[in-house]
Amino acid sequence: MVNPFQYGGIVDDESFCNRTQELHDLRRAAENGDRLLVYAERRMGKTSLIKRLLKRLPKSSFIAIYVDLWATGGSESFASAIAKATAEAAETRADKLLETGKELFKHLIPSVTIDQAGNPSIEFGARQGLDTVPQIEDALDAPARLALKRKKQIVVVYDEIQRIAEYSEDTVERVMRSRIQQHQGVSYFFLGSRKHLIRQMFTQESRPLFQSAGHYPLSTIATAHWIPFIRDRFAGADKPLEDSLIEKLCARTEGHPYYTQHLAHDLWEIVLPGHAVLAEDLARAEDTLLQRLGHTYTVLLERTTENQRKLLRGMSSAVHEARPFTSEFLRKNHLAASSAHRAAEGLLSDDVIDRENGGFIISDRFFKIWLARL
């Protein structure tokens, strides 16, 4: 029997837990033509959520364009990524794809290839000697042109939006604002995970995308939703476990989707069918898991400064977010206020910790447990 708990990839259907409210909210935003920034820590389930939403939008009234910006590195790859996603969302038939690509873009040149299974795919290149700005505009405006042509609501998702802040020039960020502000009949979702970068992009007055989108922070999944989800999957394999044990599991992972699935996966794996799951099993699953990650965490810790280690150790015993600049925390962890601030700065920019509810959290929940055990 295949383990029903999945971690790492995009989850849907049987592997997707709850998010009913979020799906409703985002559906409304799609219908309303809103612009929304959906942000959360890595692995919180942004991509899975948005893909599930897109899949469920009726094709009769929506065209969904999903652009993953992860692999883009500058304005040229940005423009061709959007152009590709737009053309492929507009047309799936091989014989029409090239035509659509030519129709939709003035400054980008399409070429279509067909793989061995007969699936067409389109790529775009720039016209020789052309400035990059018209190309970016061309790509960014295509969804709005499509909305007019097809008389459908267009939903555009830019996943990993923080990538554009990492490009060497800020052309894309600037052009983006000026173009999408004018678009009618298009909803935009910006998905991003490096919170400090995203926050700068959308909340600093000096930045082009300042206040260009509403904010939708995505949080963890509540234990009340995990309980039936986890219980049913264990019961389905004749490995009954009590709700109190699921609560324990969720407390360890703080309900974070990735870590909860990961721990549930490993727990499910070590229990034989026909056996009830025991507290010892949970402890054993956690031990094994941390043991396997131990090497990675040791390396991670070696790269930190002494003050950073003090800060992390102190944070690892906090129940949720820690408040490392309070006098109690500083005293307990032998830190001066200034060194705690400096340590936090460094860990923040390395994505080891993150801001949450006015405090700080250790992003990797297993690293947190591992640290607490040291």
Residue 255 or 314: the one with the smaller Cβ distance to ligand ADP is 255
Q: Is 162 in the site for Mg ion (CB under 5 A)?
A: no
Measured at CB, which residue is nearest to ligand ADP?
45
Q: x/- site string to Mg ion, residues 6 to 45, per CB under 5 A?
A: ----------------------------------------
Q: Cα separation of 194 and 202, whole Å? A: 12
Greatest CA span in the chain, whole angstroms?
70
Q: Of the listed pieces 45-53, 85-93, 107-115, 323-331, which binds ligand ADP according to CB under 6 A?
A: 45-53
Exactly one of 35, 39, 47, 202 binds ligand ADP (CB under 6 A); that residue is 47
Q: Of the listed pieces 11-19, 81-89, 283-291, 331-339, which binds ligand ADP according to CB under 6 A?
A: 11-19
**Residue 196 CB: number of other CB atoms within 10 A?**
14
- Report the chain's terminal Cα–Cα distance, integer Å: 36
Angle, nearest 10°, between helix axes 257-270 and 279-302?
130
Q: Is 4 in the site for ligand ADP (CB under 6 A)?
A: no
Q: Is 17 in the site for ligand ADP (CB under 6 A)?
A: yes
Question: Which runs of consecutive H residues, i.e. helices, occur in the chain?
Answer: 20-32, 46-56, 75-90, 94-104, 132-150, 163-166, 171-180, 195-203, 223-235, 243-253, 257-270, 279-302, 306-316, 327-332, 337-349, 365-373
Cβ contact 1:181 at 8 Å: no
Q: Is 8 in the site for ligand ADP (CB under 6 A)?
A: yes
Q: Is 157 in the site for ligand ADP (CB under 6 A)?
A: no
Tokens of 50: 């948005």
Residue 192 or 324: the one with the smaller Cβ distance to Mg ion is 192
Which of the residues 231 through 250 are near Mg ion (CB under 5 A)?
A: none
Q: Cα separation of 250 and 45, whole Å? A: 16
Exactly one of 47, 100, 261, 363 binds Mg ion (CB under 5 A); that residue is 47
Q: Cα separation of 249 and 265, whole Å? A: 11
Q: Is 44 in the site for ligand ADP (CB under 6 A)?
A: yes
Residue 47 or 162: the one with the smaller Cβ distance to Mg ion is 47
Exactly one of 208, 257, 314, 324 binds ligand ADP (CB under 6 A); that residue is 257
Write the burial class of residue 295 (CB in 10 Å: 0-12 exposed, 13-18 middle, 19+ buried): exposed
Q: Cα separation of 134 and 321, whole Å? A: 46
Q: Of the listed pieces 46-54, 148-156, 244-252, 318-326, which binds Mg ion according to CB under 5 A?
A: 46-54
CA dihedral angle for residue 247, residue 251, residue 257, residue 259, rounded to 10 degrees: -120
Q: Is 255 in the site for ligand ADP (CB under 6 A)?
A: no
Run of H or E residues at 156: strand 153-159
Minimum distance from residue 164 beta carbon to ligand ADP (Å): 17
Q: Cα separation of 369 and 253, whole Å? A: 9
253 binds, among Mg ion, ligand ADP, none (CB under 5 to 8 A by kind): none
Q: How many residues bind ligand ADP (CB under 6 A)?
A: 21
Identity (one letter) of the amino acid at 42? Answer: R
Measured at CB, which residue is nearest to Mg ion?
47
Residue 47 or 86: the one with the smaller Cβ distance to Mg ion is 47
Q: Which residues pair with 68 in a beta bridge?
A: 159
Q: Is 101 in the site for ligand ADP (CB under 6 A)?
A: no
Exactly one of 3, 31, 33, 42 binds ligand ADP (CB under 6 A); that residue is 42
| Contacts with ligand ADP, residue ranges (CB under 6 A) | 6-11, 16-17, 19, 40, 42-48, 193, 257-258, 261
| Contacts with Mg ion, residue ranges (CB under 5 A) | 47
